[in-house]
Amino acid sequence: MNQNNGMQKRMLIMTLVVFVFFIAYEFLVLKPQQEARAQKAKEELSQKQNAAPDVNTVATQTLSTDVNGNPVDMSKSADALSSKAIASSQIVSVIKTAKNVIEIDTLGRVAQVTLLEKKYKDENTNQIKLLESNQLRPLEVRFADANLNTEAFKVNVIASSSNVDATTQVQELILTQNLTNSILTKKFTIYPDGHYDLTVSTTNDKQFFISNGFRPNVLADMYAVHGFISKLNDNTLKTIEDGDLDKNENIVGAKFISNFDRYYATVIYNFEKSLNVTVMPDSSSNPQGFIHGGNSISFSGYIGPKNHRDLEALNPELIDVIDYGWFTFIAKPMFLLLQFIQGYIGNWGWTIVILTILIKLVLYPLSYKGMVSMQKLKDLAPKMKEIQARYKDDKQKQSMHMMELYKKHGANPMGGCLPLILQIPVFFAIYRVLLNAIELKGAPWILWVHDLAEMDPYFVLPILMGATMYLQQKITPNTMQDEMQKKIFQFLPVVFTFFFLWFPAGLTLYWFINNLFTIGQQYYINKVFERKRAEKA
């Protein structure tokens, strides 16, 4: 029993430490960083408006190769994120599809992607722009020849058209860059759904590398993974999170590469001829992917939301761009079930409610065993105290008599913990699904909840979640003997409520409904045991 209490105490303390760390990190680190970036963005935007520089004068990275032919970074990229504003003088072609607007700059790179669907709006109700103006841009070409590379950052491309309307039918765009010893050509085929095919070639056998750019920077927070992901020919996934890359990494035989934040991604893929990639760290150890292009390469690309159906329509394997972390094997089928239910219900909020109920029903046998075990331990508490007092100086005898007591009454000191441990993968999986599902973006539920991907604006759901967690504690048998443990345990609903204030409403809704049904199950078990006690009396 002492060992069990000790384990419970360690688990509670660990839980509190983790949550305090998250909260402290959110307020002491992330928020000041976000505020600093926002202030810097305003200052840079103001400077641009006063004197917009030509793109060729903007600091760029130059690249040469090492002895193995891999790209080598010759200068540092910008440390801080800037605003997403792009000077019109930098743009040579504007592509409009049914889903987005893609702006091509004077060096033939994707300077900006603006999402057109109504639900993709920022906090100022403007249509979301995905890319930062002074980060590595998608489709930037680096030459192996250092001299040619230097020249390439000074020579503007020539576009076959300054405006391309691909809203209803497939269109083409050709970009040509005339260099001293080579001509670089990019031939786009652009589709109404926003994706493209691209062939890049050079004359005179000039070797180059091409990047899918720095990740979109719309929502990169502490709660979700953001960085680089690649799918290899053996169907394994390689993920490198932002800040974790300290040296170049070579990837041979990739089906796709992607840089992503919580909801959006830049993707380059080729499922017929695999890609060889070098991933380089920028000055902040963030991963930047460069595809080995040789003197000619063809692939397809997509820059936009990590929407499950959109990615699946391009190729089912692109669903792997959505990273659910350790519990992907549970999270993927769980999302498919969520999407299936939503197809009938039509409302993502009620879909979450129904999914939560289904999960509770499936896990009910485990929950029931845990609750019954806790009730038995509660009934045995007086006898356990008696044994502890009688053999307080002989721990071996104390443990022996405790085991005899458990065996006689069919109680298991771990019975309440084991079912919970077995449910943890499911909880983490649904957490990951709801955290990364951009399908919840702009999805309303009822009355005050207009966007399940955003926090509850009036904190109703977090407060209800905390209240139900407190009520759940009150009716759940507590076998803790230590008063300090009890106080820590009683404080958890407050900590969780505070923590969930800024969580997406969809995730908080799941937790609230889960608590509600746990209370119902616990109430039923309590009534059954009360009836049994009355019968014995």
Task: Indicate if 411 and 287 belong to the same structural domain.
Answer: no
Residue 297 C-beta-side C-alpha neighbours within 13 Å: 25
Average pLDDT, the chain: 81
Q: Which residues of 222-252 are buried (b: 16+ CB within 10 A; e: fewer)?
A: ebbbbbbbbbbeeeeeeebebeebeebbebe
Same domain, yes or no, for 383 and 245? no
- Please write the tens of the pLDDT for every residue from 341-400: 999 999 999 999 999 999 888 888 877 777 777 777 777 777 777 877 777 777 787 778
- Would residue 467 count as lying in a domain? yes
| Among candidate residues 323, 351, 378, the one where a domain is terminated | 323
Contact 374, 414 (CB under 8 A): no
Domain boundary among 301, 323, 345: 323
Asked if residue 266 and residue 231 are part of one domain, the reply reads yes
Helix 364-390 vs helix 417-436: angle between axes, to the nearest 10 degrees?
Answer: 140
Counting beta carbons within 10 angstroms of the beta carbon of residue 360, is it exposed (0 to 12), middle (13 to 18) or buried (19 or more)? middle
Orientation angle between helical segments 364-390 and 505-536, nearest 10 degrees: 60
Cα 360 to Cα 105: distance, rounded to the nearest angstrom: 52
Pairing of strands 91-97, 163-166: parallel
> Which residue carries 């990275």 as its tokens?
61
What would the pLDDT profile of 51-65 be if each residue is shown by its tens digit?
Answer: 333 333 333 444 444
Q: Which residue, chain included where needed, has tokens 């001829």?
A: 273
- Specify the pTM: 0.77
- Are 283 and 241 spatial neighbours (Cβ–Cβ below 8 Å)? no
- Indicate the pLDDT class of residue 172, thresholds 50, 70 and 90: very high
- Answer with the one of 267, 300, 323 that is the final residue of a domain: 323
The answer as to whether 264 is a domain residue is yes
pLDDT digits (tens, 9 = 90+) for 280-324: 999 889 999 999 999 999 999 999 999 999 999 999 999 999 988
272 shares its domain with 346: no
Q: What is d(CA 251, CA 209) in angstroms, rounded to the nearest whole number?
A: 14
Q: Indicate if 286 and 364 belong to the same structural domain.
A: no
User: Does a structural domain hold residue 136?
Assistant: yes
Q: In the structure encoding, which two tokens stand for residue 507, read together? A: 């995730």
Count of domains forming the chain: 2
Minimal CA–CA distance to 287: which of 230, 245, 350, 258? Answer: 245
Burial of 35 (0-12, 13-18, 19+ CB in 10 A): exposed
Q: Write out the two tokens for 187.
A: 């031939």
CB contact at 8 A, 230 and 318:
no
Token look-up 């759901």 returns: 461
Tell me: do 59 and 203 sit in the same domain: yes
Same domain, 170 and 202: yes
Residues 387, 363 share a domain: yes
* Structural domain that includes position 77: 52-323
| Token pair listed for 445 | 């539920």
